[in-house]
Structure 1
């Protein structure tokens, strides 16, 4: 039946397949967000915002995801802190509107930098404290065996410190955008 419009049943099936396809990708986004310490429900929220052409209110999000407004607010705040969602303004609408950040590269660099910087700084502090404590123990012991173990452990901790210092440089390369000189962004191919 070339040239004839599709039957209502065929159109209905097309719409259903369309929604299922989007939902599958939203599930993938939600699942992969755990890599960044984001719950799957917040990942689903991001996925819904990603596919939405127009900014959404918390009420819109609540209706789309069947979650509480409080959960939506918490999720939007978390996504906003990670620069994955931004608030926007639309004339005539008094409620807060949100849309997904269109630049995934920007989101990644911000999210990666924030998460890794925090953990790396913590690890550096812990290594420093462990070395300080081991030095005190070494100075107060007469056991050559314990001194030997402490010396070995201090060397291991210094190795860890060097790694963390390198990691901080790597994080800086990500946060500054220098990474894109080494690995350019893919544009629509």
Structure 2
């Protein structure tokens, strides 16, 4: 159906902005419109993708908690469906992605600060290099404060405290 394809194409294009491949986005769109869980073979047939590409796409969507494996009595193949709670999917997606980025960046910055402090405290270091090391330490410490703020924001997603400020139901009483 054309209307479904329009939405599936839009989902695929927008998910690409978040680091999800267009093929995984199309797969998500297919599962969104499906009235029943689908096997990899079902999805392969519908989208015309290779089984390897399909498997990779499903795995990435599973890791992001956007789809889930379901069990159906009498079915021997793995079945998949989307998670219906889009709000929770949003929380899961961003907390997974942001925590990973913050952890990676924070670790690199903390190691750099340690090395820069050693350099700044070394009597053999020239005055120019010492001054630059102190400037760099300050920049990195400021960025670490930003990451701490991001961690608190992510915490508010995980605990759903964010909903106290931006409720899901926007209807006026």
Q: Does the alignment reach a TM-score above 0.5? A: yes
The answer on whether the counterparts of 2:44 and 2:50 sit within 8 Å (CA) in structure 1 is yes
Query: Which sections of structure 1, spanning at least 5 residues, go unmatched?
Result: 1-18
**Equivalent in the alignment of 1:74:** 56
Aligned length: 171
Structure 1 residue 188 displacement after superposition: 9.1
RMSD: 1.7
Task: Indicate the residue corresponding to 1:123 in structure 2.
Answer: 105
Whether the 8 Å contact between 2:119 and 2:125 is mirrored in structure 1 is no
| Residue 155 of structure 1, CA deviation | 1.0
1:154 to 132, 137, 141: 137
Which of structure 1's runs of 4+ aligned residues deviate more than 3 A?
186-189
- What is the rounded CA distance, in whole Å, between the counterparts of 1:63 and 1:161 in structure 2? 48
Tell me: CA distance 1:188–1:98, structure 2 relative to 1, closer, same or farther (3 Å): farther
Give the Cα separation in 1 of the matches to 2:121 and 2:28: 54
**Whose Rg is larger?**
1
- Kept in 1: contact 2:64–2:93 (CA 8 A): yes
Shift of 1:151: 1.4
Tell me, in whole angstroms, the C-alpha distance in 2 between the residues paired with 1:187 and 1:34: 28
Post-superposition offset of 1:105: 0.7
2:154 paired with 1:178: no
Superposition pairs for residues 40-79 of structure 1, below 5 Å?
40-79=22-61
Residue of structure 1 aligned with 2:151, choices 168, 183, 186: 168
**1:144 correspondence with 2:127:** yes
Kindly indicate whether the alpha-carbon contact (under 8 Å) linking 1:36 and 1:111 is maintained by their aligned counterparts in 2: no
> In structure 2, do the counterparts of structure 1 residues 119 and 177 end up closer, same or farther at CA, with 3 Å as the change threshold?
same
2:81 aligned partner: 99
Q: Distance in 2 between matches of 1:146 and 1:92?
A: 70
Residues 45-102 of structure 1 deviation map (CA, whole Å, 9 limit, x = unaligned):
0000001111111111000100112221221111111111111122232221111111
Provide the rounded CA distance (Å) in 2 between the counterparts of 1:54 and 1:142: 67
SS in 2 for 1:99: strand
Distance 1:31 1:176 in 2: 30
SS in 2 for 1:184: coil
Residue 132 of structure 1 aligns to a residue whose secondary structure is: helix
